[in-house]
């Protein structure tokens, strides 16, 4: 599998962000990618107006996702990102979507909301209540996670035990003391904990760190971006998965049962 990470800074206007997403989709598809991962909350964002994500939320059959679905027609590449979807009570779900060839093939509502480091995502976003599905891409099984989820190893372990070969992690990782180190350590740890690949795409710009990266099942970063907009690629090698799980059989050696959602 060839995976692409499309890192960019999300703006206030959803039409502009849709054009950026479609441009990255076209470029990744032209380069032969099987999977494109884009950042978290790509519909609209304003660092001076945190409530914009709720006010700008659109249903999954709204114009933002509809444009991306139309742009994906005729391609077998799968694109993943998160968008905010309105709830019935005026809040929003932070929803990871997977689209392919004009179809919405999977969705996942973020389980762990970012109520940390003086931020409170739960003030405007409703938490999901289901373990995310696995999505088959180019013969491999892909597990879905979103940003703050990476701080909770139970979810990554559950997805690995469900059969994931690769975990995707759209993110908008906020800058702060040691935050780049936290990101790199945890993305790497989730790969090593579970002998899986992790493809983590971070939003860049004035508030967030960027630093998108793909880590292999033995903890080696095989592709990464810096702090600016970028499109980077990596090869996901099934033979590397087999080798990692033979030499480091943590999934077989574990003593604890599979995590369950509380």
Would you please indicate which residues are annotated as catalytic (active-site) residues? Answer: 40, 110, 147
Structure tokens at 2: 């060839």
- Count Cα neighbours of 120 within 13 Å in the Cβ-side half-sphere: 3
- Count Cα neighbours of 219 within 13 Å in the Cβ-side half-sphere: 9
Query: φ and ψ at 6, to 5 degrees?
Result: -110, 95
Measured N-to-C along each axis, helices 153-162 and 179-194 cross at an angle, to the nearest 10 degrees, of 30
Give, in order, the Cα–Cα distances in Å from 87 to each of 84, 130, 218: 9, 16, 40
Helices and strands, counts by H and E, the chain: 7, 13
DSSP H or E segment with residue 3: strand 2-7
DSSP H or E segment with residue 239: helix 238-247
Q: CB within 8 A of 129, min separation 6: which ones?
A: 109, 111, 261
By C-alpha distance, which of 48, 49, 41, 37 is closest to 10?
41
Q: What is the DSSP letter of 258?
A: P
DSSP string, 108-153: EE-SS----TT--GGGTEEPP-SPPPEEEETTEEEEE--GGGGG-H
């Amino acid at each position: 599998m060839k995976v692409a990470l499309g890192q960019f800074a999300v703006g206030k206007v959803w039409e502009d962000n849709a054009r950026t997403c479609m441009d990255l989709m076209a470029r990744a598809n032209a380069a032969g990618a099987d999977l494109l991962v884009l950042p978290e909350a790509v519909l609209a964002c304003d660092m001076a107006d945190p409530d914009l994500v709720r006010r700008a939320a659109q249903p999954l059959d709204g114009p933002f996702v509809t444009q991306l679905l139309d742009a994906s027609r005729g391609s077998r590449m799968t694109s993943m990102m998160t968008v905010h979807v309105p709830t019935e009570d005026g809040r929003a779900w932070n929803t990871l979507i997977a689209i392919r060839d004009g179809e919405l093939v999977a969705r996942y509502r973020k389980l762990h909301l970012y109520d940390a480091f003086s931020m409170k995502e739960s003030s405007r976003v409703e938490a999901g209540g289901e373990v995310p599905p696995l999505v088959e891409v180019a013969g491999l099984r892909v597990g879905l996670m979103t940003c703050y989820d990476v701080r909770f190893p139970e979810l990554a372990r559950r997805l690995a035990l469900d059969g994931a070969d690769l975990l995707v992690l759209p993110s908008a990782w906020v800058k702060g003391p040691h935050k780049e180190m936290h990101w790199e350590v945890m993305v790497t740890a989730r790969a090593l904990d579970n002998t899986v690949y992790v493809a983590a795409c971070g939003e860049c710009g004035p508030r967030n760190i960027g630093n998108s990266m793909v880590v292999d099942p033995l903890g080696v970063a095989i592709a990464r971006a810096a702090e600016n907009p970028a499109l980077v690629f990596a090869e996901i090698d099934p033979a590397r998965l087999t080798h990692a799980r033979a030499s480091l059989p943590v999934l077989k050696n574990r003593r604890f049962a599979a995590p369950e959602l509380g």
